[in-house]
Structure 1
Amino acid sequence: MNVAILAGGKASRLGGIEKGMLDVCGKRVIERLLFTFHDCSTVIVCRDEEQAELYSEFASVTIDHYRNAGPLAGIHAALKHFRARILVVAADMPFVKRAVAEAIYDAGEKSGADAVIPAWSDGKTEPLLACYSFSAVEEIEKSLSSGERKIMVPVQRLERVIFYPVEKLKSLDERLVSFLNINTPEDLRRAEELCSSIDLDGE
């Protein structure tokens, strides 16, 4: 499984800290994710050279080709790096379960879909814990070249997209903590509260 961890932006709502470096349950988020995917082909996608230098001590890194273009640029850089199907994981998601990741990736492998995007019953999507084929790169480049930064815009133009019901993943992750991401101090407090009540091995 090819895994791209998107190191992401500057976390303005968290005082500009690198979210992958946040300590959650006694370990940095990036270390948690690398442990979960320890036997995969993994790359950390960084916004610029400075961020790449910071993360290069942990794993292989690559840098956005389109600067200041958000996570869509990270997905693009990851596809260009692997030139193959990838699982994308945001670096602010400390509790991603390996089984959930594999289910999403396997759905792409078995179907040959251009993208597999988890979707909630209310229509909200999770494009930052999702699977993308290299066949998606052309439409992503079109969006980035025109200044469009929303991930779902090029996704909606793809021919074969699977919206994977998040509810189907409950058998693998009962509380669906895989989709918890840390954007605010409140999110961080919630993550810390979960530490004592969930399995932290990523399996």
Structure 2
Amino acid sequence: MKPLGAEAVTAAVLAGGRAQRLGGVDKGLALWRGRPLIAHVAAALADQVDDILIVANRNADEYRRYGRVCADDQAGYRGPLEGIATALRQTRSDWLLVVPVDSPEPGADLLARLWRAHDAADVVVAHDGRRRQPLFALYRCAALAMPGDDPDMPVWAWQDRQVLREVDFSDSPARFANLNTAEDFQ
């Protein structure tokens, strides 16, 4: 498993969106290279964390094959910040690693690289060399001010209100590529 000592880490895979750019198809269950996206993400995370939590607002039975499943606490597809808030409330661990379901290759070293910077921050987030990747982040659960009730607040804006540290991933920016349209899947 992971070399992080006694502190437990849960991974939350954000899979709760409407997939409007994919014609309403549940993105996490869409096939890429012969397997659903969630299968790729869960496989990449399995050896890095103690538990996988999937935040999905539909198709819970299909997602249960890959981890524990919960829906957003607030209904209505309110966006990734609601998924993060839900995962923070649902986790049983001290730390929460968050990734989106539409980035199938987050890397086998994602947690280890973020973990190296965890002592100085409550939020440790990836930076691809050009910009912050706010949906690839590690959170110290007990220290965070939970997001408010503003569904339009971007994740990065909420992260900026925390004790934040960015980690350089400019050597591997392709891990943050996400699949949003039918063309992206080809």
Q: TM-score range by the shorter chain?
A: 0.7 to 0.9
Q: Is the 8 A contact 2:82 2:151 kept in 1?
A: no
Counterpart code for 2:179: I
Counterpart code for 1:11: A
Aligned partner of 1:102 in structure 2 is: 112
Segments ≥4 residues shifted beyond 4 Å: none
Tell me the secondary structure at the aligned position of residue 98 of structure 1. Answer: coil
The runs of 5 or more residues in structure 2 that have no matched partner are 1-8
Choose between structure 1 and 2: higher strand proportion: 2
Match of 1:152 among 146, 150, 156: 156
So what's the TM-score if we normalise by structure 2?
A: 0.83
So what's the TM-score if we normalise by structure 1?
A: 0.77
Choose between structure 1 and 2: higher helix proportion: 1
CA distance in 1, matches of 2:128, 2:41: 23
The 3 A distance-change label for structure 1 pair 147 and 60 is closer
Deviation at 1:112, TM superposition (A): 4.7
Deviation at 1:52, TM superposition (A): 2.4
Q: After superposition, what is the alpha-carbon deviation per residue over 1:161-185, rounded to whole angstroms, capped at 9, x for unaligned?
A: 0011222xx2xx4xx3311111122
Match of 1:93 among 103, 110, 118: 103
Tell me the secondary structure at the aligned position of residue 70 of structure 2. Answer: strand
Say whether 1:75 aligns with 2:84.
yes
Q: After superposition, what is the alpha-carbon deviation per residue over 1:145-169, rounded to whole angstroms, capped at 9, x for unaligned?
A: 14443111211111x10011222xx
Match of 2:15 among 7, 12, 22: 7
Tell me the secondary structure at the aligned position of residue 57 of structure 1. Answer: coil
Cα RMSD after superposing both structures:
2.0
Match of 1:138 among 129, 134, 145: 145
Identity of aligned residues (%): 29
Deviation at 1:136, TM superposition (A): 5.6
Match of 1:25 among 30, 33, 48: 33
